[in-house]
Chain A
Amino acid sequence: GAGVSQSPSNKVTEKGKDVELRCDPISGHTALYWYRQSLGQGLEFLIYFQGNSAPDKSGLPSDRFSAERTGGSVSTLTIQRTQQEDSAVYLCASSPDASNYGYTFGSGTRLTVV
């Protein structure tokens, strides 16, 4: 696609429910990243996929968070048993490879846990 596509754009969920966030990177981009940004805060790294390599999960805040990337393209970030502190904008980004390119970000998913 022309850009990084994320869905849904907004999600309101009840505390304790599971949510899935989707990211479709730019076609041909092998590297895919998930970050989150809480209100007024900086970007917090969550997870990184590069081609067929094992993902770097070092930024996932708890075992309630998981992510997968199918076929080297679309990625899904899953949050189980959501908590109010999970409320944030979840940003997906992709880059052509893992070298010196900057990222292209999607428009994000705004998650609100009530």
Chain B
Amino acid sequence: QKEVEQNSGPLSVPEGAIASLNCTYSDRGSQSFFWYRQYSGKSPELIMFIYSNGDKEDGRFTAQLNKASQYVSLLIRDSQPSDSATYLCAVKRPGSTLGRLYFGRGTQLTVWP
């Protein structure tokens, strides 16, 4: 079982819709959770992080964490074509090398006008 799993997609939504990206992780003691956005040909960019159960909102983005279900998600409201990218989920596991993040393979999102 991989440490971090994501649906590879592609996920396609119309402009203005809510895009929902999901991620599960295997280590129940994982502590910190991150979402990165990667445009084609570019490097990953940190857009959200969450440490506690519940929701965390930042503009059009909401990260949701459920540690009991080992599930973290990213919601993008009012999706725009500029949101089209691959979204990477990353997890910091307990007992791992301090600071090392484990990445999922990413979900490709396309927002069509």
User: Which residues of A pack against B, CB within 8 Å?
Assistant: 31, 33, 35, 41-43, 45, 48, 50, 56, 58, 91, 95, 97-108
Contact = CB atoms under 8 A, between A and B. Distances in A.
22 contacts: A33-B99, A42-B105, A42-B106, A43-B88, A43-B103, A48-B99, A50-B98, A56-B100, A95-B99, A98-B97, A100-B49, A100-B51, A102-B49, A102-B90, A102-B101, A103-B46, A103-B101, A104-B46, A105-B43, A105-B44, A106-B43, A107-B43
B25 interface: no
Task: Label chain B's interface by main secondary structure.
Answer: loop
B43 A42 contact: no
Interface of B: 31-32, 34, 36, 42-46, 49, 51, 88, 90, 92, 97-106
